[in-house]
Amino acid sequence: MKALIFGGTGFIGRNLCNELLSAGYKVSIVSRNPQKAGLSGSGAEAVEWSVSAGALPVELLDGVTVIINLAGESIGNRRWTQPVKEEILNSRVQITQAIVNAIKQQRVIPKVLINASAIGFYGPRGDAEITESTPAGHDFLAKVCQAWEEEAFKAQTSGVRVVVVRIGVVIGDAGALARMKAPFRFYVGGPLGTGAQWMSWIHVKDLTRLIRFAAENENINGPVNATAPEPVRMKDFCNTLGQVMGRPSWLPVPGFLLKVVLGEMSDMLLNSQRVLPDKILKEGFLFRFPVLKNALEDIIQQ
Ligand code: NDP
């Protein structure tokens, strides 16, 4: 099987690349700057392309069975000014459009397009349980996810199976956990906001296994929630993190302060989303890390 990954140089992409290579896939990674990403020696082939270079060369898809699209401007790196918001939206929509256009021109089409999305699709939902049938929210991230998903689903008209993976907070060797760990290391860790908001997390190893499972399981179609089956409240997440790191969780960061410092981006940390992975569980996927404490121990004690 040959997989073509967009955004394969990022946090999830690097882990996914390892998962697929160890399962015997041939992997090509499309990157704006493969040299900078240091892909040599990873076992994956690197291909240079960016939206500004024009249409995606159709021959890139020759022999490809699985396309995985994770690419997009980071959501958590910079304050959401208007230009940053446009980059967050446009980078995702334009890359997906380019992929769908290249698929349309193939004589032999790939079997499946797995496109990333986020649980941000649902917007803030308080204590309500969220499944794949919950409608979209109305805030900025919800709109980005809707536009991104809409583009991906256009590949269905070419006969490609499309799976949209609505990813929760991914915990692993980088990303959100790497940032959350720092204050705990210095004994000043604690929940963000009231701590009552639900956090729907997933271990990066389970996420990459879930993506492979969706690629290989022809019954899976449409949106799939990629979150562990046991979401937790922010305060419980921080208590467990403190326990696993041998540090107290006692110093809350007030919501108003996050709003002042991060602006609208603070929504990502303060919004409550209690997401359940109904669809993938019904298809028989087994989580290796369904429980937060085990997941954190695996990552932190590595
Ligand atoms: P990263 O930011 O680590 O990687 C994203 C990749 O996209 C980069 O390696 C980069 O590849 C490419 N990219 C970045 N900016 C741009 C841009 N402006 N234009 C085109 N390509 C760009 O993200 P993650 O691996 O953490 O996440 C992958 C996807 O999953 C993202 O789209 C993210 O929104 C989504 N997601 C992630 C979650 C998480 O907790 N990590 C949660 C929910 C959703 P290169 O530089 O090689 O071109």
Of 167, 171, 205, 265, best ligand 1 pocket probe by most atoms within 8 Å of the beta carbon: 167
The interface predicted TM-score (ipTM) is: 0.99
Question: What DSSP designation does 154 have?
Answer: G
Distance 108 CA to ligand 1 centre (A): 28
Rounded to whole angstroms, how far apart are CA atoms 114 and 212?
Answer: 9
Range of the domain at 281: 2-173+200-228+276-288
Using most ligand atoms within 8 A of CB, pick from 74, 92, 199 the residue to mutate for ligand 1.
74
Exposure string over 160-179, b if 16+ CB within 10 A, otherwise e? bbbbbbbbbbbbbeebbbee
136: pLDDT confidence band, cut at 50, 70 and 90? very high
| pLDDT value at residue 38 | 67
CA–CA dist 273, 299 (Å, integer): 23
User: For residue 266, is it within any domain?
Assistant: no
Q: Helical H runs in 154-218?
A: 176-185, 204-216
Please tell me the predicted confidence (pLDDT) of residue 27: 97
257: pLDDT confidence band, cut at 50, 70 and 90?
confident
In a domain, 257, yes or no: no
Residue 107 lies inside a defined structural domain of this protein: yes
Residues making up the chain, counted from first to last: 302
* pLDDT exceeds 80 at position 37: no
Q: Say how far apart CA 240 and CA 246 lie, in whole Å.
A: 10
Atom of ligand 1 nearest to the CA of 74: 2
pLDDT level of residue 25 (50, 70, 90 thresholds): very high
Q: 11-25, 116-130, 247-261 — which is least confidently predicted?
A: 247-261
171 CB less than 6 Å from ligand 1?
no
Q: What is the CATH number of the domain that holds 81?
A: 3.40.50.720
Q: How far is the CA of 209 from the centre of ligand 1 (A)?
A: 18
CA 302 / ligand 1 centre spacing (Å): 24
Instruction: Give tens-digit pLDDT for 212-236.
Output: 999 999 999 999 999 999 999 999 9
Average pLDDT, the chain: 95
Residue-level pLDDT at 43: 87
Task: Tell me if 238 is assigned to some domain.
Answer: no
Tens digit of each residue's pLDDT (9 = 90 or more) over 55-86: 999 999 999 999 999 999 999 889 999 999 99
Task: State the Cα–Cα distance between residues 149 and 159, nearest whole angstrom.
Answer: 16
* pLDDT, average across residues 139-160: 98
Q: Please determine, for residue 91, whether its predicted confidence score (pLDDT) is greater than 70.
A: yes
Cβ atoms of 146 and 223 closer than 8 Å: no
Report the C-alpha gap between 76 and 79 in whole angstroms: 8
Counting atoms of ligand 1 from 1, which one is nearest the CA of 117?
44
Q: Tell me how crowded residue 42 is: count the other CB atoms within 10 A of its CB.
A: 17
In a domain, 224, yes or no: yes
Name the residue at shortest CA distance from atom 14 of ligand 1.
73
Name the amino acid, one letter, at 157. T
Lowest mean pLDDT among 52-61, 140-149, 189-198, 251-260: 251-260
Q: Is residue 110 part of a domain?
A: yes
The response to whether residue 29 sits with its C-beta less than 6 Å from ligand 1 reads no
Tell which wins on pLDDT, 251 or 40.
251
62 Cβ contact list (under 8 Å, min separation 6): none
> If you ran DSSP here, which 8-state letter would residue 192 be given?
B
The pLDDT value given to residue 212: 98
Q: Angle at the Cα of 261 (from 147 to 275), degrees rounded to 5? A: 45
282 within 8 A of 221, measured Cβ to Cβ: no
100-119 burial string, b = 16+ CB within 10 Å, else e?
Answer: bebbeeeeebbebbbbbbbb
User: Would you say residue 293 lies in a domain?
Assistant: no
Number of domains in the chain: 1
Residue 262 binned pLDDT confidence (cut-offs 50, 70, 90): confident
Res 258: pLDDT: 86
Average pLDDT estimate for 200-216: 98
Q: Count CA atoms within 13 Å of residue 88 on its CB side.
A: 22
In a domain, 72, yes or no: yes
CB neighbours (10 Å) of residue 264? 14
Helix (H) or strand (E) holding 224: strand 222-226
